[in-house]
Amino acid sequence: MGKRLGMSLLVFIIAAAQFGFTGTKGNVALAAEKSMAQKPYMGWSSYSMQVYDGEGNWTSAESVKKQSDAMHEKLQAHGYEYINIDAGWNGDMDEYGRPIPSEILYPNGFQEVIDYVHNNGQKIGIYLIPGVSIDAYNRNLEVYGTGGECRIPDITAKPLTIMDYWNSYTYKIDFTNPCAQKYVDSIADMLGEWGIDFVKFDSVTPGSGIDNLSRDARGDVAAWSKALDRNNIWFELSWALDHNYVEFWKKYANGWRIDWDVESYDGSGLTAWPSISRLFPKAALWWRDAGPGGWNDFDSLNVGNGSMDGLTKDERKTAMTFWSISSVPLYTGNDMTRLDSYGLELLTNDEVIAVNQAGRPGHPVSMDTQQQVWFANNGDGTYSVALFNLGSRAAEVKVKWSDLGLEGPASVRDLWSHSELGTFEKEFSGGILEPHASRMLKVTALSGTSAVNNDDTGMRYSGDWKRNGGKELLEGKQDLSITIKDSSAAASSNPQEDALNSVADPAANAASASRTTVTDVVYINDNDSGIKYNGTWQVSSSREHADYNNDVHYTENNGDSFEYTFTGTGIELLTEKHESQGDMIVTLDDGAAQTVNAYTSGPREVQQSLYSVSGLTNSPHTLKVSKGSGNYMLLDALKVTTESPAGGQNSSITPTSAGFDKATEQQKDVTVTLNLHGNT
């Protein structure tokens, strides 16, 4: 779709507003309709400092008030307003199974802290998880407001099922019992009375390292969404949510963490570069799903203090640039009382913040290179453009206007330096960027046309729309091997004559084609939705070890397993060999178990084939692999093989110089390998 810029584009915007294309009311394919989430929120979270410091002081009244004062002084004028207290704020529970604040952390009462934050013109958030307290179940507590009609054991699912990721705190709730919603309402209403503005809901499944339905928190999410919404409380889901259920998350929440924690957990810093770089492929999957009402969440933005962040200066700027172009919540995890001058400069650049708050998540031109261009069409003739060098060597990064859908000249402004760079006809080079460096630009079309793709973040669809049947089709690639052989039942005494007859006789040639074998090999990545993970699995993304698609699933628990059902004639298991690996127990179609070993005392070996089987009937088979020993078991990818005859009534293969030796005039066996690209 192309529109001339200037007056015609202005007319289009006005018309779109009149006819509802840009609205958020009615039956619109957006996140939950909550006015508080029209833009990504900005603020602070205690969790990164809780991990880094480890002294347990970061959720205390004294610490929270210091952070509130620091935000008020340094960041609040630029839009930062949320003070979010993570795990550890609560002490025991009341007689109704509702969490109550720690009297040790808040000696003057939690209400004092809430009022302090509010008096600073800010909002305050706390932390909860799905399920019902195991202790509340054991104590047979009453549900508040039910007069003893409902008790905690009544709403606990049977058989008893642990609900939280850590296997320690909560049982699964039976939401078919009306008392379950009353229990959730009782807590949410209490938070509303306190004045709580935000809830981080952690350990949400499918996700949080459990990408199957063995622990399904969707019932909790729906119940809490209803209860918090009536109290006007922002509802944020965490962590590493399963994208297969994105429509559900969008319906019931204001935000959702798309990956694991950014914290490094090793004491070296608040975060590390791999925790930043692994978010790029995640964002390339999720960007379409964010918009007014609900936002993708990258976790804490830890760029405020170079001595603590664990990042270089270039990496700190790149993180701020990426959070901004992606329109994700901007909440720092730094100690705001110790922001250095460069960190303060990054966190308070109003032009960069404006890109974030515009609420148009950027997307990549291509993910095929480490030198990436991400952009968002702002719908007014301007584009937000970020240039990234994710590689380990300095490299040029440039953007072509045609990749943005723009034809015609455009002016360029550097948002970090607040400088106009001039007018450029077809493209702009960001110059040579150092490893992990970036630039942030505003591109303004001066004339010409602008094409907007149907899935642009500015598009709003009213009614029952779907994207490709509800599944996004990405570019696929697979190897297809075709082996062409002599169709004779026995070797001829005159190969030269047979070869010439093959050329002269199309019928014989067609018969040969009908017996051609086609071998189709398809890679199944470890994040494929068809793989069922049993137990506690985690995902490692953006690895730098040359894994297939740079990611793996892994588990540390013996007995955890995965299984995959496929239709084909063979399958191959690709994993990593390393000193931390051990035995993997493999079964196929409930046959005899076979043990393979992924241990090696030498250097790490990736994409290793530890198990392979071929010659199966071309029918459904199930592969199951369990962890037997070692510190870890990894799944990198599976390779599924199918073999079938090619050709038929409408097929023919004409010998060419590749399969017919003109010098000897003899037929030869030929293998042709084709790389198929496209939407498959």
- What sections of 468-541 are H helices per DSSP? 495-504, 506-514
Cα 633 to Cα 23, 581, 582, 596, 670: the distances in Å are 48, 6, 7, 11, 40
pLDDT the model gives residue 11: 26
Domain ranges of the chain: 39-356, 473-516+648-679, 522-644
C-alpha closest to that of 669 among 490, 517, 486, 481: 486
Mean of the pLDDT values across residues 459-474?
Answer: 66
Q: What is the DSSP letter of 287?
A: G
Q: Work out the percent of the chain whose per-residue pLDDT is above 70.
A: 81
CA distance 515 to 482: 11
Locate 619 and state its tokens: 């029918």
Type of residue numbered 137: Y
H helices present in 310-376, as ranges: 313-325, 341-347, 350-357
Q: For 628-643, write each residue's pLDDT tens digit.
A: 988 899 999 999 987 7
CA distance to 114, 404, 413, 449, 456, per residue, from 446 (Å): 50, 14, 13, 10, 21
pLDDT digits (tens, 9 = 90+) for 141-186: 999 999 999 999 999 999 999 999 999 999 999 999 999 999 999 9
pLDDT of residue 645: 58
Inform me whether the pLDDT recorded for 678 exceeds 50: no
Checking if the pLDDT of 22 tops 50, the result is no
Task: For the domain covering 522-644, report its CATH number.
Answer: 2.60.120.260
Pairing outcome for strands 234-237 and 255-257:
parallel
Residues 487-512 have a mean pLDDT of: 41
pLDDT of residue 615: 86
Q: CA-based angle 19:23:27, to the nearest 5?
A: 95
Task: Report the relative pairing of strands 583-588 and 619-627 from DSSP bridges.
Answer: antiparallel
Give the integer Cα–Cα distance in Å for 369 and 360: 23
Q: How confident is the model at residue 429 (pLDDT cuts 50, 70, 90)?
A: very high
For 29-85, the pLDDT digits (tens) are: 333 446 889 999 999 999 999 999 987 789 999 999 999 999 999 999 999 999 999
pTM of the model: 0.69
- Band the pLDDT of 96: cuts 50, 70, 90: very high
Instruction: Give CA–CA dist 520/642, Å, rounded.
Output: 5
pLDDT for residue 544: 65
The mean per-residue pLDDT over the stretch 194-211 comes to 96
Give the model's confidence band at 100: pLDDT under 50 very low, under 70 low, under 90 confident, else very high.
Answer: very high
Q: What is the mean pLDDT of residues 317-344?
A: 98
Residues of the chain with pLDDT > 90: what percent?
69
* Cβ atoms of residues 356 and 295 within 8 Å: no
Indicate if the pLDDT at residue 337 is higher than 90: yes
Mean of per-residue pLDDT scores for the chain:
85
* Residue 482 pLDDT exceeds 70: no
Q: 657 falls in which pLDDT band (50, 70, 90)?
A: very low
Q: Does 362 have pLDDT greater than 80?
A: yes
CA distance 334 to 313: 15
The pLDDT of residue 443 = 98
- Find where tokens 């701020």 sit: 320
Residue 403 has pLDDT above 70, yes or no: yes
Query: What residues are paired with 242 via a beta bridge?
Result: none
Residue type, 152: I
User: What is the pLDDT, as a whole number, of residue 15?
Assistant: 29
Q: Is 304 in contact with 48 (CB distance < 8 Å)?
A: no
Confidence at 6, pLDDT banded by 50, 70, 90? very low
For Cα atoms 272, 633, 202, give the angle at the middle one, nearest 5 degrees: 55
Structure tokens at 98: 């509702």
**DSSP annotation string for 256-283:** EE-SS----SSSS-S--HHHHHTHHHHH
**Across-strand partners of 605?**
577
Task: Name the residue among 287, 278, 328, 255 with its Cα closest to residue 527.
Answer: 278
CB 567 within 8 A of CB 621: yes
- Nearest C-alpha neighbor of 335 from the set 355, 365, 306, 313: 306
- Read off the pLDDT of residues 534-556 as tens digits, 9 standing for 90 and up: 998 889 876 767 788 888 999 98
The winner for highest mean pLDDT among 446-450, 510-514, 645-649 is 446-450
Please confirm whether the linkage preceding 239 is cis (ω < 30° from 0). Answer: yes
Instruction: Give pLDDT, residue 520.
Output: 73
CA distance 537 to 217: 17
Nearest to 81 by CA among 116, 47, 123: 123
Mean pLDDT of 588-615: 87
Q: How many helices (H) and strands (E) does the chain have?
A: 17, 39
- List the end-to-end C-alpha distance of the chain, in Å, as a whole number: 25
Cα–chain center distance at 481: 33
Q: What is the DSSP string of 562-593?
A: EEEEEEESEEEEEEEE-TTB-EEEEEETT---
What are the pLDDT digits (tens) for 560-571?
999 999 898 999
Instruction: Please tell me the predicted confidence (pLDDT) of residue 394.
Output: 97
What per-residue confidence (pLDDT) applies to 677?
Answer: 44
pLDDT band at residue 601 under the 50/70/90 scheme? confident
pLDDT value at position 636?
A: 93
Q: Is the pLDDT of residue 123 over 50?
A: yes
Confirm if 291 and 31 have CB atoms less than 8 A apart.
Answer: yes
The CATH homologous superfamily for domain 39-356 is: Aldolase class I (3.20.20.70)
Strand order in the sheet with 449-451: 2-4, 449-451, 406-407
Taking only the tens place, the pLDDT of each residue in 338-349 is 999 999 999 999
Task: Please check the confidence at residue 304 and state whether its pLDDT lies above 90.
Answer: yes
Beta strands 90-93 and 2-4 are unpaired
CB–CB of 437/318 below 8 Å?
yes
